[in-house]
Amino acid sequence: MQINNTMESLTFTVPLSRAAHQIATQFRQQQFNSQQGKQVYLNTLSVYAVNFYLKCMGFEPDWKSSDSFNPMMQKFTDVADLNVKHLGKLECRPVLPEQQIVSIPLEAMNQRRGYFAVQLNEKLTEATILGFIKNASTEEVPLTELKSLDFFLQYASQLENAVQLRQWLQHTFETGWETIETLLSPPKIAWRSQNITLDSLTAINSDLGVERIKKFNLEPTGEQIGLLVRLQARTELEMGIGVELYPTNHHIYLPQNLQLMLLDEYGETVMQAEARSTKNIQLKFSGESGEVFSVKVALGETNIVETFVI
């Protein structure tokens, strides 16, 4: 289809209205010197453009809570960040008309989920979001290294819809993630299913961590499996994670050749287990706050993927 070919290089142009310039002027007037004033002005227009883009795309940016909206932070750091619900901090760096690189100061590299390059025209009447990168290893990134906004949309949508594991520790769970007891004995048919399914599964002591299970249908065979995730906070940043598959619907064994895979944020398989007349299979690993991983369950041609943020 015609549409597919054009996504690769797609940019997004935002008209810079008076409203944008008013905010930029207001922030610039707070600055100590003209160099800083100019930087803050350009940063503000960049963030304004990305804020607009993200809102159009149905994300939930919160500029007011960001450092780039705080005159004191602007005085002390060269910052163009934007907080976005479920995504974290995105940095929006301005690019001047003739520049072939996007410069990312070291102080703007901390705890960022990614970086946008925003090109401003000489008259400052429009801003074009050129592209996005997830990680910056140098302070000057050539524009040719940027990924397209299509890549951003894919990455951010996946992240936004991911299961937020850190919230589990505060006992906030996404829909579908049940306690083992709930899944084992749905209220009305409790008398039928007791002691029949999942007998190998016993709840762990809740003091040790959190665990939740979600049921998945493996179409087209209609096989059902339960994906259990166990969490244990080890340090402030590090979390121990166990992922296990269990049969449901009165089955004792998992389907033959059922595969459980752990994928890193780039979609590469980093761990794998396969069922052969087994009651359950599991993977154990640990990760740091902010890391993204996916769990893939595959049976023949069918597979399901669930993405998590630690």
Partner 1 sequence: MNEGKGTIDALLNQLATEAQQHPPRSYERRRMLHLLIDRILKSGRLLRPGQGYKLPASVYEDVYNEALSNTLMEICQKIDNYNPEKDVMAWCNFLFSKRFTDSYNQSIRQGLTYIGRDSETPTIEDLDYFIPAPERTSESQELQKLIEENPGNLFTKDHVKGQPRATFQFLALAKIWQDQKWKDISSELNVPVSSLCDFFNKRLKEFTPYFQEYLQN
Give the residue among 53, 16, 230 at the shortest CA–CA distance from 156: 53
For the bound state, the minimum distance from the C-beta of residue 249 to partner 1, rounded and expressed in Å, comes to 28
Residues 6+ apart with CB under 8 A from 153: 57
Residues 6+ apart with CB under 8 A from 61: 50, 51, 54, 55, 82, 83, 84, 85
Q: Does 110 bind partner 1 (CB under 8 A)?
A: yes
For the bound state, the minimum distance from the C-beta of residue 83 to partner 1, rounded and expressed in Å, comes to 13
Q: Would you say 24 and 49 are in contact if contact means Cβ atoms under 8 Å apart?
A: no
Segment contacting partner 1 by CB under 8 A, of 30-38, 198-206, 265-273, 293-301: 30-38
DSSP state of 47: H
Q: Does 85 bind partner 1 (CB under 8 A)?
A: no
User: Closer CB to partner 1, residue 19 or residue 203?
Assistant: 19
**Pair of tokens at residue 229:** 């995730």
Q: How far is CA 63 from CA 89, 119, 127, in A?
A: 10, 19, 17
Q: Does 109 bind partner 1 (CB under 8 A)?
A: yes
CA distance 283 to 278: 14
User: Closer CB to partner 1, residue 238 or residue 274?
Assistant: 238
Q: Does 101 bind partner 1 (CB under 8 A)?
A: no
Segment contacting partner 1 by CB under 8 A, of 36-44, 169-177, 194-202, 218-226: 36-44
Question: Residues interacting with partner 1, by CB under 8 A?
Answer: 2-3, 6-7, 10, 12-19, 21, 28-34, 37-38, 41-42, 52, 55-58, 67, 70, 72-73, 75-77, 96-97, 105-107, 109-110, 120, 122-126, 149-150, 153-154, 157-158, 160-161
